[in-house]
C-alpha cells in the first residue's frame, strides 16, 4: 500500500476539477436548488479517477525503461546517452521521462514528454559534455505515465544510481586515429608534410640494381666482391616520444570550461596513440613542485590502456612548478634521446627566463618542443576597435601580453628550442602537425 501511494501522483487537471466542484458547492448555498449538481460532479470525478487508477495499475509492469550509455565518458566531448521507454499497456500513454544526471553538469531540466502508442518502444537521445575527470553519479530514471483519461500519474523508477568515470578524451583519440590512417588528414587541418630528410638505420649490403641511389654505393664491399654493392637502409623506427605535462597552478586556467591541464591530457592521449600506431614508443612524465608520474616509453599492446589510466588520475597542484626537478627527472629516467613534448604555459618573458637554463639543458640531450597556450580572449579583444579611453588602456595592456608571447617564441628559437603557441581548442591538431613535421625532417 505504501508503494502504491508513493507511485501515485495527481495531475494538475484533477486539481482544477476539484476547484470547480468546490466553487459549485459554495454557490449552491446561494442557490439550494442546484445543490445536486456539485454532488453529481463529485461522484463522477471519483468514478473517473478510480477508472484511471485501474487502467494504470492493472498491469504490474506497464512500462519498461532503461538508460544506455558507455561504461565511461569522454572528457570535453559530447557523449551520447540513450533512454529506452517501452509501453506494455494495451492503450496509448503519455510519458514524462526525467533523468537524474550528475550534479557536475548543473542541469535540472533533463525531462522528455512524449506520446507512446501501445506495445511500442521510444528511444530518446541526448548528449552530455563533462569538463572534469572523475566519478559522476547518475541517479534514477523517473518515468511518469498517464492514461488517455489523464487525471492520475503513475511513477516508475528505473536504473537506481550508477557511478560512471569520466576519462581523458578517448573519443578524440579514436577520431584522430581513424583520420590519421585513412588519408583524410586535411579534413581536420592535419597537414601532409613532404619528407625532406631521412633518419635511417643500416639493414644490409646488397647488389646494385637499376634505380638504387648511387650515393649508397659501398666501395669497400664492391672492391672485395668485384660487383657493384650498395648499402640498404630502412627508416628508423621505435623512436621515443614523451609527453611532459606541467601540473602547476598555471595549468588550472579554464578555457571553454575545460582546464589547460585537461587540454594537455587529451592531446597527450591522442599523440601517444598516433605515435604508437606509427611504430614509435610513447611515454609520459608529469611534474609540478614535486616529482609526478612517470610511464616508460613503450609500444607494447597494453601501453595505451596504461596511458589512459595514468592520465585519468592526474590532478593540478596549486604551487609553482619546479623546473630544476623536471631536469633531474628527465636526466635520471630518460636515457635515450627522445622527442619531448612539454605542455606548459608562460604568460610573460620573465617567467620563461627563470626556467630557460633548465630547458636548454634538457634540449642538449633531447629534442624538446615547448607547447604553450595563446590567450584567445586577448586576441578577440585586440581585433575589436577601442571606443573610449578605458578600452584604449585595456587594449594597450592586451597588446603587451600578446607581444610577450611572441618574444617567448623568439627567445626559445634563439637557443635552438622548438616551440608552439596554440589556442587551446587547436592544441591536438597542432601537436599532431608538429610531430609529423619533426618526423619528416628526421630531426630526432
Low-confidence stretches of the chain (pLDDT < 70) are 1-6, 179-203, 211, 233-237, 376-383, 387, 389-393, 395, 397-398, 444
- On whether both 303 and 436 belong to a single domain, the answer is yes
- On whether both 372 and 267 belong to a single domain, the answer is yes
- On whether both 291 and 422 belong to a single domain, the answer is yes
Count of domains forming the chain: 4
Tell me what pLDDT residue 428 has.
92
- On whether both 247 and 104 belong to a single domain, the answer is no
Tell me what pLDDT residue 133 has.
93
Give me the residues paired with residue 371 across strands: 343, 420
Q: What is the CATH number of the domain that holds 99?
A: 2.60.40.10
**170-180 helix and 427-440 helix, angle to the nearest 10 degrees:** 40
80-89 burial, b at 16+ Cβ within 10 Å, e below that, comes to ebebbbbbeb
Tell me what pLDDT residue 348 has.
82
Tell me what pLDDT residue 150 has.
85
Tell me what pLDDT residue 319 has.
83
Q: Quick one: cell of 371?
A: 607547447
CA neighbor of 225 nearest in space, from 213, 233, 214, 217: 217
Give me the sign of the Cα torsion angle 49, 51, 57, 62.
negative
Residue 105 to residue 123: CA distance in whole angstroms: 22
Of 10, 33, 57, which residue sits at a domain end?
A: 57
- On whether both 274 and 357 belong to a single domain, the answer is yes
- On whether both 282 and 378 belong to a single domain, the answer is yes
Of 167, 186, 211, which residue sits at a domain end?
A: 167
In terms of residue numbers, what domain contains 221?
202-235
- On whether both 140 and 263 belong to a single domain, the answer is no
CB atoms within 10 A of CB 442: 14
- On whether both 249 and 323 belong to a single domain, the answer is yes
Q: pTM, whole model, 2 decimals?
A: 0.79
- On whether both 48 and 145 belong to a single domain, the answer is no
- On whether both 81 and 151 belong to a single domain, the answer is yes
Residue positions counted in the chain: 444
- On whether both 208 and 241 belong to a single domain, the answer is no
Of 57, 79, 102, which residue sits at a domain end?
A: 57
CA neighbor of 67 nearest in space, from 79, 54, 50, 84: 84
Sequence-ordered list of residues with C-beta below 8 angstroms from that of 128, at least 6 positions apart, any chain: 73, 78, 79, 81, 101, 105
Sequence-ordered list of residues with C-beta below 8 angstroms from that of 170, at least 6 positions apart, any chain: 72, 74, 269, 308
Residue 29: CA atoms inside 13 Å, Cβ hemisphere, count? 4
Residue 196 to residue 237: CA distance in whole angstroms: 17
Q: State pLDDT tens for residues 291-338.
A: 889 999 999 989 999 999 999 999 888 888 999 999 999 999 999 999
321-335 burial, b at 16+ Cβ within 10 Å, e below that, comes to bbbebbbebbeeebe
- On whether both 290 and 361 belong to a single domain, the answer is yes
Residue 334 to residue 285: CA distance in whole angstroms: 10
Tell me what pLDDT residue 61 has.
86
Residue 267 to residue 261: CA distance in whole angstroms: 10
Environment class of 421 (CB within 10 Å of its CB; exposed 0-12, middle 13-18, buried 19+): middle
Q: What is the CATH number of the domain that holds 396?
A: 3.40.50.410
Amino acid at each position: 500500500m505504501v508503494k502504491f501511494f508513493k507511485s501515485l501522483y495527481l495531475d494538475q487537471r484533477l486539481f482544477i476539477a476539484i476547484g470547480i466542484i468546490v466553487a459549485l458547492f459554495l454557490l449552491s448555498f446561494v442557490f439550494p436548488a442546484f445543490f445536486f449538481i456539485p454532488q453529481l460532479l463529485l461522484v463522477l470525478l471519483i468514478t473517473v479517477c478510480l477508472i484511471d487508477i485501474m487502467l494504470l495499475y492493472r498491469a504490474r509492469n506497464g512500462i519498461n525503461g532503461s538508460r544506455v550509455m558507455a561504461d565511461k565518458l569522454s572528457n570535453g566531448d559530447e557523449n551520447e546517452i540513450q533512454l529506452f521507454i517501452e509501453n506494455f499497456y494495451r492503450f496509448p500513454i503519455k510519458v514524462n521521462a526525467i533523468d537524474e544526471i550528475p550534479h557536475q553538469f548543473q542541469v535540472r531540466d533533463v525531462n522528455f514528454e512524449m506520446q507512446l502508442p501501445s506495445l511500442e518502444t521510444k528511444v530518446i537521445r541526448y548528449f552530455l559534455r563533462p569538463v572534469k575527470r572523475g566519478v559522476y553519479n547518475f541517479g534514477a530514471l523517473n518515468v511518469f505515465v498517464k492514461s488517455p483519461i489523464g487525471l492520475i500519474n503513475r511513477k516508475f523508477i528505473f536504473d537506481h544510481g550508477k557511478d560512471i568515470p569520466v576519462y581523458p578524451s578517448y573519443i578524440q583519440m579514436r577520431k584522430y586515429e581513424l583520420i590519421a590512417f585513412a588519408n583524410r588528414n586535411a579534413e581536420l587541418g592535419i597537414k601532409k608534410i613532404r619528407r625532406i630528410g631521412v633518419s635511417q638505420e643500416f639493414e644490409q649490403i646488397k647488389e646494385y640494381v637499376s634505380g638504387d641511389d648511387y650515393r649508397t654505393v659501398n666501395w669497400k664491399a664492391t672492391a672485395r666482391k668485384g660487383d657493384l654493392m650498395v648499402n640498404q637502409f630502412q627508416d628508423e623506427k621505435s623512436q621515443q616520444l614523451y609527453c611532459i605535462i606541467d601540473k602547476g597552478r598555471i595549468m588550472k586556467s579554464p578555457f571553454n570550461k575545460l582546464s589547460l591541464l585537461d587540454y594537455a591530457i587529451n592531446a597527450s592521449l591522442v599523440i601517444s596513440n598516433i605515435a604508437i600506431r606509427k611504430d614509435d614508443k610513447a611515454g609520459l612524465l608529469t611534474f609540478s613542485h614535486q616529482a609526478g608520474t612517470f610511464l616508460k616509453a613503450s609500444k607494447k599492446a597494453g601501453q595505451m590502456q596504461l596511458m589512459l589510466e595514468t592520465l585519468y588520475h592526474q590532478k593540478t597542484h596549486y604551487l609553482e612548478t619546479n623546473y630544476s626537478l623536471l631536469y633531474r627527472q628527465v636526466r635520471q629516467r630518460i636515457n635515450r634521446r627522445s622527442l619531448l613534448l612539454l605542455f606548459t604555459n608562460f604568460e610573460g618573458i620573465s617567467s620563461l627566463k627563470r626556467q630557460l637554463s633548465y630547458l636548454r639543458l634538457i634540449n642538449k640531450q633531447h629534442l624538446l618542443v615547448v607547447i604553450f597556450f595563446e590567450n584567445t580572449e586577448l586576441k578577440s579583444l585586440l581585433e575589436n576597435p577601442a571606443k573610449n579611453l578605458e578600452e584604449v588602456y585595456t587594449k594597450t595592456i592586451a597588446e603587451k601580453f600578446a607581444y610577450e608571447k611572441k618574444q617567448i617564441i623568439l627567445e626559445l628559437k634563439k637557443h635552438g628550442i622548438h616551440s608552439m603557441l596554440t589556442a587551446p581548442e587547436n592544441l591536438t591538431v597542432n601537436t599532431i602537425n608538429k610531430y609529423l613535421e619533426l618526423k619528416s625532417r628526421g630531426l630526432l
